[in-house]
Structure 1
Amino acid sequence: MFILDLEKPHSLLQAEACDRRLARNHIKRPDLELKLRNLISGHQGEKTLHYFLSLFPKDKFQIYHGLRLPIGNSFFQIDGLLVTSKIIFVLESKNNAGILTIDKHQLTQQYNENSETYQNPVAQVTRHKILLKYFLDEYKFPAIPMEDLVVITRSSTELRITQGYTEGHKKVCKAEDLLKELHRFEKFNYKESFDKQAINRLRHLLLKKHTPLIVNISEELGIERSEILTGVSCPNCKTLKMDYYRKEWKCSECLLYSKDAFIEAINDYFLLIKPTITNAELREFLRLPSQRAATYILSILKLHSTGQNKGRVYHQPKLFPISVSHVFPNQSNTNKNKIGGP
Structure 2
Amino acid sequence: MIGKLHDAPLNLLKMDALLRRLPSHHIRYEEVKEQLKKYSAGFYGEKSIGFPLSFLEEKRFMIYHDLRLYDGTHHFQIDTLVISQHYILIVEVKNISGTLMFDPIFNQMIRISETKEEAFPDPLTQVERQRLQLEMFLLKSKVSWIPIETLIVISNRSTVLKATHEINAITSKVIRSEYLPTKVKSIDKRYPTELLTMKEVRKLGRFLVKHHEPLDRDILKQFSIPVTDLLVGVQCPNCARMPMIRIHGKWLCQSCSSVSKDAHLKALNDYALLVSKEITNQELRGFLRLSSEDAATRLLKSLNLEFSGANKGRRYMLDIRQF
Pair in the same fold by TM > 0.5: yes
Cα deviations by residue, 1:179-235 (Å, 9 ceiling, x for unpaired): 111111122352111134532431232111100101122111111110011001111
Farther off after superposition, 210-219 or 45-54 = 45-54
Structure 2 distance, partners of 1:9, 1:117, is 25
Answer yes or no: is the 8 Å Cα contact 1:231–1:242 preserved in 2: yes
What does residue range 276-295 of structure 1 map to in structure 2 within 5 Å?
276-295=278-297
Given the alignment, which residue of 230, 233, 250 partners 1:231? 233
Residue 182 of structure 2 corresponds to residue 208 of structure 1: no
Structure 2 distance, partners of 1:41, 1:8, is 12
Other-structure match for 1:185:
187
Percent identical = 36
Structure 2 distance, partners of 1:47, 1:196, is 25
What is the CA distance between 1:112 and its match in structure 2?
Answer: 4.8
Structure 2 distance, partners of 1:194, 1:300, is 49
What does residue range 66-215 of structure 1 map to in structure 2 within 5 Å?
66-104=66-104, 105-215=107-217
Answer yes or no: is the 8 Å Cα contact 2:60–2:85 preserved in 1: no
TM-score by length of 1: 0.90
Structure 2 distance, partners of 1:86, 1:118, is 33
Answer yes or no: is the 8 Å Cα contact 2:62–2:201 preserved in 1: no
Listed as ranges, the gaps of 5+ residues in structure 1 are 324-342
Answer yes or no: is the 8 Å Cα contact 1:233–1:241 preserved in 2: yes
Answer yes or no: is the 8 Å Cα contact 2:60–2:198 preserved in 1: no
Other-structure match for 1:5:
5
Cα deviations by residue, 1:298-324 (Å, 9 ceiling, x for unpaired): 12222111111211111123xx3166x
Cα deviations by residue, 1:49-108 (Å, 9 ceiling, x for unpaired): 223223333223111111000012320011110001111101111111100011212100
Farther off after superposition, 210-219 or 112-121 = 112-121
SS at match of 1:186: helix
Answer yes or no: is the 8 Å Cα contact 2:243–2:289 preserved in 1: no
TM-score by length of 2: 0.95
Given the alignment, which residue of 302, 305, 308 partners 2:307? 305
Other-structure match for 1:28:
28
Other-structure match for 2:261:
259
What is the CA distance between 1:159 and its match in structure 2?
Answer: 0.9
**What amino acid maps onto 1:97 in structure 2?**
S
Structure 2 distance, partners of 1:57, 1:189, is 16
Other-structure match for 1:44:
44
Answer yes or no: is the 8 Å Cα contact 1:97–1:111 preserved in 2: no
Answer yes or no: is the 8 Å Cα contact 1:6–1:50 preserved in 2: no
Cα deviations by residue, 1:143-197 (Å, 9 ceiling, x for unpaired): 2122100000111111112343432111000011111111111223521111345
Structure 1 distance, partners of 2:230, 2:73, is 33
Other-structure match for 1:64:
64
Structure 1 distance, partners of 2:276, 2:149, is 41
Structure 1 distance, partners of 2:191, 2:124, is 25
Other-structure match for 1:241:
243
Answer yes or no: is the 8 Å Cα contact 2:268–2:318 preserved in 1: no
List structure 1 segments (4+ residues) > 3 angstroms apart after TM superposition: none
Report the number of matched residues.
Answer: 321
**What amino acid maps onto 1:137 in structure 2?**
L
